[in-house]
Amino acid sequence: MKKGLMYSIVAGAALMLCVTSAQAKTTFVTIGTGGITGVYYPTGGAIAKMVNKKKKEYGIRATVESTGGSVFNVNAVMNGDLEFGVVQSDRQFQAINGLAEWKDKGAQKDLRAVFSIHPESVTLVAAVDAGIADIKDLKGKKVNIGNPGSGQRQNAIDALEAVGINPEKDLQAEAVKASEAPGLLQDGRIDAFFYTVGHPSGAIKEATSGARKVRFATVTDMDKLLAQYPYYAKSAIPVAMYPGAQNDKDAATFGVKATFVTSAKVPDEVVYAITKEVFDNFDEFKKLHPAYSTLTKESMLDGLSAPIHPGAMKYYKEAGLIK
C-alpha cells in the first residue's frame, strides 16, 4: 500500500514534468518594424498582441523590434535575424525581383508575403519659412531623404528625379532616421524631410506641433513615375489629422502599402497561427490603429508581389479568401 502510494506519487511527478516541458516549448518570433514614432512599430505590436493572446494554444511568443525600416527588415528576415518584418509593398517587389538596394545581391528568393496592411504616403514635411510648398522647391535645401535601411529613401530619390532634381547635386541630402527628423526640422537644422508612412503617425504629429511652422509640401507631376512603377499610386495627406500643419487642403502625393513579410524558412504553423489570429479577429485588429480605418480582409491580400507563404495560404483557402 505504502509502496503503491509511492509509485503513484513518482508517476504523478513524472507526468507533471512532461506537461511542464510541453508547455515550456515556446517558439519565439521577432517582428521587425520601424522607428517607434512611425506606424510600423504599433503595427508589429498589434500583430504580436493578436497571436500572444493564444500563447497557450500555439506556443508562440511574438516580440517587436524597432528597426531602420523596410530595407533593414527584408535583409534581417532573409538572414534569419528576424522571422517577420513590416515592409513597403514597393520594397517587397524590388527585393523579390533583385532591384534597387538588391540589385547587386540579386533576387531575395526566400522572401514570402503574408498580408498587406495600411496605406502609406510619401510625406514631405517642410518648414514654411524655408519657402517650400512643393517638391520642386527643394533645390538647394537641406533635406532628410532617409536612412539607408528605410523604405522612404528610394521613394524620395524617385520623386526628386521625377522633377529633375538630382539628390546628390541639387540639394543637401541628409540620411537620418525618420524618428530624428521632426526634432531636426524644429531646431532649424533641416528644411524638410521625407517619410513614407501611414497616417496619423507620432513622428508627423511631433513635426507639426512645434514652434516652427511646417506644412505638407505637395509631391506633384508624378504621372510618368506612376506609369513606370505599378507599385506607386496617387494619394493625399489627410491634413485634418494634424491640426498644427499649415495646409488648408489635403496635400497631393503618391504612396504604397505596408505589407507583412516572412521567410520561406519560417514554419508553416507559425505563419498560419499569426494569419489566422489577425483575420479571425479582424474587427478587433482594425481598432488597434486609426491608420487601419480603410482596411478590409480582401484589401489585405492586395499589393503582394512575393509568393504567399504556405502557412498563410492554408488559412486563406480555409477562410475562402483565396479559391
173/166 Cα distance (integer angstroms): 10
| Beta strand 251-263 pairing with 233-237 | antiparallel
The total of other beta-carbon atoms located within 10 Å of residue 294's CB is 9
59/77 Cα distance (integer angstroms): 21
Q: Per rule CB under 6 A, is residue 311 in the interface with ligand GLU?
A: no
* Residue 243, CA distances (Å) to 56, 124, 248 in order: 44, 16, 10
Task: Report in angstroms how near the CB of residue 68 gets to ligand GLU at its nearest.
Answer: 7
Q: Per rule CB under 6 A, is residue 158 in the interface with ligand GLU?
A: no
**Which range of residues in 32-40, 106-114, 210-218, 221-229 is near ligand GLU by CB under 6 A?**
32-40
What residues have CB less than 8 Å from 148, skipping those under 6 apart? Answer: 68, 71, 101, 175
Q: Per rule CB under 6 A, is residue 45 in the interface with ligand GLU?
A: no
Q: Which of residues 120-149 bind ligand GLU (CB under 6 A)?
A: 120
Q: Per rule CB under 6 A, is residue 151 in the interface with ligand GLU?
A: yes
Q: CB nearer to ligand GLU: give 237 or 313.
A: 237
Q: Which of residues 186-215 bind ligand GLU (CB under 6 A)?
A: 196-198
Q: Per rule CB under 6 A, is residue 34 in the interface with ligand GLU?
A: yes
DSSP notation for 167-191: TTTTSEEE---TTTHHHHHHTTS-S
Q: CB nearer to ligand GLU: give 120 or 137.
A: 120
Nearest CA-CA partner of 217 in 136, 279, 280: 136
**Which range of residues in 30-38, 97-105, 168-176, 305-313 is near ligand GLU by CB under 6 A?**
30-38
The backbone region for 97, taken as left when phi is positive above 0, alpha when psi lies in -120 to 50, beta otherwise, is: alpha
Q: Per rule CB under 6 A, is residue 279 in the interface with ligand GLU?
A: no
Q: Per rule CB under 6 A, is residue 69 in the interface with ligand GLU?
A: yes
Q: Per rule CB under 6 A, is residue 150 in the interface with ligand GLU?
A: yes
Q: Per rule CB under 6 A, is residue 179 in the interface with ligand GLU?
A: no
Exactly one of 29, 32, 40, 171 binds ligand GLU (CB under 6 A); that residue is 40
Q: How many residues does the chain have?
A: 323
Q: How many residues bind ligand GLU (CB under 6 A)?
A: 15
The contact set with ligand GLU (CB under 6 A) reads: 34-35, 38-40, 69-70, 88, 120, 150-152, 196-198
